[in-house]
Amino acid sequence: MPKFTLHINGKTHRVKVDGDMPLLWVLRDVLGYTGTKYGCGRGLCGACTLHVDGDATRACMTAVDNVDGAEITTIEGLASDNELHPMQEAFHLHHGLQCGFCTPGVIMSAVDLVDRNQNPSEAEIREWLEGNICRCTGYHNIVKAVKAAAETTRGK
């Protein structure tokens, strides 16, 4: 079985798994990063969204051999020095979650959006998050949170 090097949230891990094993299962079952959620297993719901080399990626559809040596950021890696990431803080302040299952994937997608567009409109936020399914919120407070985080990020 091949070995792969994964740089996750600033830490390097060496894993010995089948190369076609989805990154989602390597994270959750092998390495214990359970913040990345399993939803549909087909890349349609967004629950497993994380960042690979800075880009939002569906972990359920990404084979581990495709991310060997890549920089991977999960929801657990957004906060730093015991401070929430501005997007996490905005979701907390603006009640951008209910059950919380979709929240890690939505936040990771939203961070990717704001990294690319520091002043997204409501329509742009809704379009960007179209691939993240939330069955609880109706997205109203999610959109408010993303707007607030974008404003905070612009202010830095």
pLDDT at 155: 67
Asked if residue 119 and residue 59 are part of one domain, the reply reads no
Question: Euclidean distance between the first and final Cα of the chain, in Å?
Answer: 46
The domain boundary, picked from 58, 77, 96, lies at 77
pLDDT at 156: 60
Chunked into runs of 10 residues, the chain (156 residues) has average pLDDT values of: 96 98 98 97 96 98 98 96 95 93 97 97 97 90 97 80
Asked if residue 96 and residue 66 are part of one domain, the reply reads no
Report residue 92 CA to chain centroid gap: 16
Please give the Cα distance from 7 to 41 (Å, whole number): 23
Asked if residue 91 and residue 149 are part of one domain, the reply reads yes
The domain boundary, picked from 50, 77, 104, lies at 77
Domain that holds residue 45: 3-77
**CATH code for position 12:** 3.10.20.30
The pTM of this model reads: 0.95
The domain boundary, picked from 29, 49, 77, lies at 77
pLDDT at 119: 97
What is the rounded (10 degree) CA torsion for 125, 92, 148, 144? 50
What is the domain count for the chain? Answer: 2
pLDDT at 135: 87
Asked if residue 65 and residue 34 are part of one domain, the reply reads yes
pLDDT at 154: 81
pLDDT at 42: 95
